[in-house]
Amino acid sequence: QKRLYAITDKAVERYKAIEKEEKQDEFKKGLRTWTNLYAFLAQIMPFTDTEFEKFYAYAKLLQTRLPRRNLSDAVYLDDELALEYYRLQKIKEGAIVLEKGEEGELSGTSEAGLKRPKKEEAHLSEIIDVLNERFGTEFDEADRLFFDQIEAELMEDETLQKQAKVNRLDTFKFAFDDNFIDVLISRVEQNSEIVDKILTNKAFGDWVKDFYMKRTYARLNG
């Protein structure tokens, strides 16, 4: 393990030497995007160059060693969705069984920890209802939360926040396209089946991207 750490020591020190936090974030994002993209492509096509595999292992280790900021005081919707996604996956697998009225029953929460209005719950399920009807998919509640996580990350993107304020929708599209792909690739390990379908099925992928683009633009300007 010491030998592996020694390999990444210089990279960690160079990262710490970067003075601007936005530059550090940019590096982390690029590293994460590359590793997730490689992990995704490795599932669908063979790689004969062992250097790629070596760099992938190096990059994954480096990701774990880069300093993290103290975010203990921050509350993120993404974290809440991740926990709910895990809970629903376990229910789906039969690992958690809760009957209505029993002790431990869980109810939906919003960003502030308050119960989410029924109107918002219905709106968040809109995308899987339309996809199931239009494309014959069988997405369920756990899949809905994966889509919600994508939306949450798009909403937090500072570039999209700025572009949405100063551009019309048809111009906003150019900034959105690249960021949308980055978000997908960063989440490929969570649900490779959905990501693969978005990237390889043009009709399906175009519909999902257009849905998120219009919804993100409207919410950022709301």
- pLDDT tens-digit profile of 171-220? 999 889 888 888 887 787 788 889 888 888 889 999 999 999 999 999 99
Model confidence at 96: pLDDT above 50:
no
Distance CA 23, CA 26 (A): 5
Model confidence at 108: pLDDT above 50:
no
Do residues 39 and 73 touch, judged by C-beta distance below 8 A?
no
Tell me the percentage of the chain whose pLDDT exceeds 90. 24
Q: Which amino acid is at 102?
A: E
Mean pLDDT of the chain: 76
What is the pLDDT at residue 6? Answer: 82
Distance CA 43, CA 47 (A): 10
Longest dimension (CA), the chain: 57
What is the pLDDT at residue 162? Answer: 92
Q: pLDDT band for position 165 (50/70/90)?
A: very high
The mean pLDDT of 9-37, rounded to a whole number, is: 88
What is the pLDDT at residue 169? Answer: 93
What is the pLDDT at residue 69? Answer: 62
Q: pLDDT band for position 93 (50/70/90)?
A: low
Question: Which of 3-17, 31-45, 58-72 ranks highest by mean pLDDT?
Answer: 3-17
Distance CA 180, CA 154 (A): 7
Alpha helix ranges (H) inside the chain: 2-17, 21-44, 50-65, 77-93, 118-124, 126-135, 141-156, 158-166, 169-186, 192-200, 202-220
Greater model confidence, 168 or 35: 168
What is the pLDDT at residue 214? Answer: 94
Q: pLDDT band for position 2 (50/70/90)?
A: low
Distance CA 77, CA 188 (A): 19
Model confidence at 155: pLDDT above 60:
yes
The mean pLDDT of 141-156, rounded to a whole number, is: 90
Domain boundaries, given as residue ranges, for the chain: 2-65, 77-220
